[in-house]
Amino acid sequence: MPFELSSPAFGHGEKIPRRFTCEGEDVSPPLAWTDPPEGTASFALIVDDPDAPDPAAPKTTWSHWVLYDIPPEARALPEDAGGRERPLGARDGINDWRRRGYGGPCPPIGRHRYFFRLHALDTTLGELDRPTRAEVLRRIEGHVLGVAELMGTYQKGDP
């Protein structure tokens, strides 16, 4: 089987339920993955929105969640892993709200895409001082064994 990322809350390309957004409880959705590459020493998860601020005229990629040093034996993250349920050993980076943990979809205009990318790494990153998405991406360069991706969409007012 290939290295794949999924969620029981929504399928690839589907709407992210309101519960996982700023209009709901703003908790991270449950995630699960299969068959990471051999030699995986840790995982790094980055969730971002390339459509910010407006999908018709995107200007930036907005980071919603940076989580790294997820243990290699992990095959899932429970709901609210971006809050109280973070897996043992995993470390939070800083999202674009300048805080640790998960910040759900909250698009100012239009329907945005949200990419959940799980990187299988041949190393761990260790304690970093408030790393951003850009810093984690720099540090994993040359250490990525594989990437599994799940994309969901959200527009304010979605049920």
**pLDDT tens profile 88-120:** 789 999 999 999 999 999 999 999 999 999 999
Residue 54 structure tokens = 């407006």
Nearest alpha carbon to residue 42 among 136, 149, 151: 136
> Tens digits of per-residue pLDDT, 16-74?
999 999 999 999 999 999 999 999 999 999 999 999 999 999 999 999 999 999 999 99
d(CA 32, CA 12): 13
Give the sheet arrangement for strand 31-34, strand by strand.
4-6, 31-34, 76-77
pLDDT reported for residue 30: 97
Q: Among all chains, which residue has been given the structure tokens 């200007």?
A: 59
pTM: 0.95
Question: What architecture does CATH give domain 4-61+72-123+132-139?
Answer: Alpha-Beta Complex (3.90)
Confidence band for 143, pLDDT divided at 50, 70 and 90: very high
pLDDT reported for residue 88: 76
The dihedral sign for the CA sequence 106, 112, 115, 116: positive
Region 127-144: what's the mean pLDDT?
Answer: 96
Q: From residue 33, how far is each of 38, 51, 115, 138, 149 by CA, in Å?
A: 14, 25, 15, 23, 10
Region 116-145: what's the mean pLDDT?
Answer: 96
In the chain, alpha helices (H): 133-140
The one-letter amino acid at 158:
D
Question: Would you say residue 86 has pLDDT above 80?
Answer: no
pLDDT reported for residue 83: 76
Cβ-based neighbours of 9, under 8 Å, separated by 6 or more: 16, 17, 19, 20, 29, 30, 79
Contact 50, 37 (CB under 8 A): no
Using alpha carbons only, what angle is made at residue 45 by residues 42 and 47, rounded to the nearest 5 degrees? 175
pLDDT reported for residue 87: 76
Domains of the chain, by residue range, sit at 4-61+72-123+132-139
Q: What is the SS3 assignment for 67? A: strand
Contact 140, 70 (CB under 8 A): no
